[in-house]
Structure 1
Amino acid sequence: MPSTPKHPPLLISQLSQQRVFSQLSAKSRDTLAGQFTLANATAGATLAAQGRLPDQLGLILSGTVRLSDPDLNLSVQLEAGGLFGFGATPATQLATWQAVAAADCEVAWLPADALAQLCIKHPQLAFFLPSLQPAHQPPAVPAPPVSESSNALNLLGTPIRSLIKRPPITVAPDTSIQATAVLMRDRRVSSVLLVEQGLLFGLVTDRDLRNRVVALDLDISRPVSDIATLAPMTVSANSPAFEALLLMARHNIHHIPVMEGGDILGMITATDLTEQHSTSAVYLAGDIYKQSSLDGLKSISTRVRQLQQHLAAADASAYSTGHIITAITDAITIRLIHLAEAQLGPAPVDYVWVAAGSQARNEQTAKSDQDNCLILDDAFDEAAHGAYFKTFSKFVCDGLAECGYIHCPGEMMAMTDIWRQPRRVWAEYFRKWVDSPKPKSLMLTCVFFDLRAIHGQAALLDGLRQQVVQHTKGNSLFLAHMVSNALKHRPPLGMFGQITLIKGGDNPHTIDLKHTGIVPIVDLARVYALAAGVTVANTHDRLEVSAQAGEVTEQSARDLRGALEFLGKLRIAHQARQMAQGQAPDNFLALEELSNFERSHLKEAFSVVQTLQGVLGQRYAGGRF
Structure 2
Amino acid sequence: MSIELYEIEQHMARFEPFSRLPAPLLQAVANAVEISYFKAGEQILTRDQPLEHVCYIRSGAVELYQRDGTTLFNRLGEGDLFGYTDLARKRAVRYPVTAIEDSLIYYIDAATFEQVADECEEFAEFVDVSGRLKHVFEQQRQSSPLLSTKARQLVQMKPLLATASMSLSEAASMMQEQHVTCVLVTEPCDSTLPLAFLDDEDHPVMLVGIVTDRDMCTRVVAEAISPQASLREIMTSRRIITTQASDSAYEAMLKMLDERIQHLPILNGKRPIGVLQLADLLRFETSNNLFLINTILRQPSTEGLVRLSQDVRRDFVSMVEQQSGSDMISRALSLTGRAFVHRLCELAEEQFGPPPVPYAMMVLGSMAREEVTITSDQDNALIIADSYQESLHGDYFKQLAEFVTDHMAECGYAYCSGEIMASNAKWRQPLSVWRHYFSDWIATPTPEHLLESSIFFDLACAHGEESFVQELRELIAQQASSNPRFLAAMARNANNRTPPLGFFRTFVMEQDGAERRSINLKRRGTAPLSDVIRVHALACGSTQQSTLGRLDDIAHTQLVTAEMIKRLRYAFEYLSTLRINHQAAAISQGEAPDNSVEPDTFSRSERHHLREAFETLRDAQKFLGFRYPLKGNRERHS
Q: Tell me the TM-score normalized by structure 2.
A: 0.69
Residue 171 of structure 2 contacts residue 183 of structure 2 at CA under 8 Å; is this kept in 1? no
Q: CA deviation at 1:144?
A: 11
Residue 309 of structure 1 contacts residue 576 of structure 1 at CA under 8 Å; is this kept in 2? yes
Matches within 5 A, 1:470-509: 470-509=478-517
Change (3 A) 1:400 1:257: same
Q: Which amino acid aligns with 2:585?
A: R
Number of residue-to-residue matches in the alignment: 511
Of stretches 252-261 and 392-401 in structure 1, the one that deviates more from structure 2 is: 252-261
Residue 383 of structure 2 contacts residue 468 of structure 2 at CA under 8 Å; is this kept in 1? yes
Residue 289 of structure 2 contacts residue 332 of structure 2 at CA under 8 Å; is this kept in 1? yes
Quote the Cα distance in structure 2 between the aligned partners of 1:143 and 1:465.
32
Q: CA deviation at 1:420?
A: 0.7
Quote the Cα distance in structure 2 between the aligned partners of 1:512 and 1:299.
31
Residue aligned with 1:534, SS: coil
Quote the Cα distance in structure 1 between the aligned partners of 2:516 and 2:215.
57
Residue 153 of structure 1 contacts residue 311 of structure 1 at CA under 8 Å; is this kept in 2? no
Quote the Cα distance in structure 2 between the aligned partners of 1:57 and 1:153.
47
Quote the Cα distance in structure 2 between the aligned partners of 1:169 and 1:535.
34
Change (3 A) 1:457 1:208: closer
Q: CA deviation at 1:195?
A: 6.1
Quote the Cα distance in structure 1 between the aligned partners of 2:513 and 2:356.
48
Change (3 A) 1:224 1:321: farther
Q: Which amino acid aligns with 1:528?
A: H
Quote the Cα distance in structure 1 between the aligned partners of 2:371 and 2:514.
25
Q: Which amino acid aligns with 1:164?
A: V
The one of 169, 176, 189 equivalent to 1:174 is 169
Corresponding residue of 1:48: none
Change (3 A) 1:567 1:85: closer
Q: Which amino acid aligns with 2:611?
A: K
Q: CA deviation at 1:563?
A: 0.8
Change (3 A) 1:526 1:202: closer
Q: Which amino acid aligns with 2:245?
A: A
Superposed CA RMSD: 4.4
Corresponding residue of 2:519: 511
Provide structure 1 residue ranges, at least 5 long, that are not aligned to the other structure: 1-36, 46-51, 59-83, 87-99, 112-135, 185-189
Change (3 A) 1:387 1:141: closer
Change (3 A) 1:143 1:561: closer
Change (3 A) 1:317 1:106: closer
Q: Which amino acid aligns with 1:500?
A: V
Corresponding residue of 2:336: 328
Quote the Cα distance in structure 1 between the aligned partners of 2:629 and 2:552.
25
Q: Tell me the TM-score normalized by structure 1.
A: 0.71
Change (3 A) 1:488 1:339: same
- Structure 1 residue 340 and structure 2 residue 340: aligned? no
Quote the Cα distance in structure 2 between the aligned partners of 1:263 and 1:503.
59
Q: CA deviation at 1:344?
A: 0.6
Quote the Cα distance in structure 2 between the aligned partners of 1:347 and 1:530.
34
Corresponding residue of 1:283: 291
Matches within 5 A, 1:348-387: 348-387=356-395
Q: Which amino acid aligns with 1:247?
A: K
Q: CA deviation at 1:481?
A: 1.7
- Structure 1 residue 461 and structure 2 residue 469: aligned? yes
Residue 174 of structure 1 contacts residue 225 of structure 1 at CA under 8 Å; is this kept in 2? no
Residue 143 of structure 2 contacts residue 324 of structure 2 at CA under 8 Å; is this kept in 1? no
Quote the Cα distance in structure 2 between the aligned partners of 1:528 and 1:610.
16
Q: Which amino acid aligns with 1:330?
A: R
Corresponding residue of 1:162: 153
Residue aligned with 1:264, SS: strand
Quote the Cα distance in structure 2 between the aligned partners of 1:433 and 1:204.
45
Q: CA deviation at 1:405?
A: 0.9
Corresponding residue of 2:607: 599
Provide structure 2 residue ranges, at least 5 long, that are not aligned to the other structure: 1-34, 43-53, 61-76, 80-98, 107-125, 188-198, 200-204, 634-638
Residue 150 of structure 1 contacts residue 311 of structure 1 at CA under 8 Å; is this kept in 2? no
- Structure 1 residue 551 and structure 2 residue 567: aligned? no
Q: CA deviation at 1:326?
A: 1.1
Change (3 A) 1:496 1:335: same
Quote the Cα distance in structure 1 between the aligned partners of 2:382 and 2:584.
33
Q: CA deviation at 1:451?
A: 1.3
Q: Which amino acid aligns with 2:481?
A: K
Residue 274 of structure 1 contacts residue 280 of structure 1 at CA under 8 Å; is this kept in 2? no
Q: Which amino acid aligns with 1:355?
A: V
The one of 386, 406, 414 equivalent to 1:406 is 414
Q: Which amino acid aligns with 1:238?
A: S
Quote the Cα distance in structure 2 between the aligned partners of 1:508 and 1:154.
38
* Residue identity (%): 33
Quote the Cα distance in structure 1 between the aligned partners of 2:419 and 2:479.
27
Q: CA deviation at 1:166?
A: 3.8
The one of 401, 415, 418 equivalent to 2:426 is 418
- Structure 1 residue 587 and structure 2 residue 595: aligned? yes
Deviations 1:7-59 (A, max 9, x none): xxxxxxxxxxxxxxxxxxxxxxxxxxxxxx999989x99xxxxxx9996589x
Q: CA deviation at 1:530?
A: 1.9
Report the structure number with the largest CA radius of gyration. Answer: 1
- Structure 1 residue 539 and structure 2 residue 532: aligned? no
Q: Which amino acid aligns with 1:154?
A: L
Quote the Cα distance in structure 2 between the aligned partners of 1:277 and 1:468.
38
Quote the Cα distance in structure 2 between the aligned partners of 1:179 and 1:554.
50
Change (3 A) 1:271 1:420: closer
Residue 510 of structure 1 contacts residue 589 of structure 1 at CA under 8 Å; is this kept in 2? yes
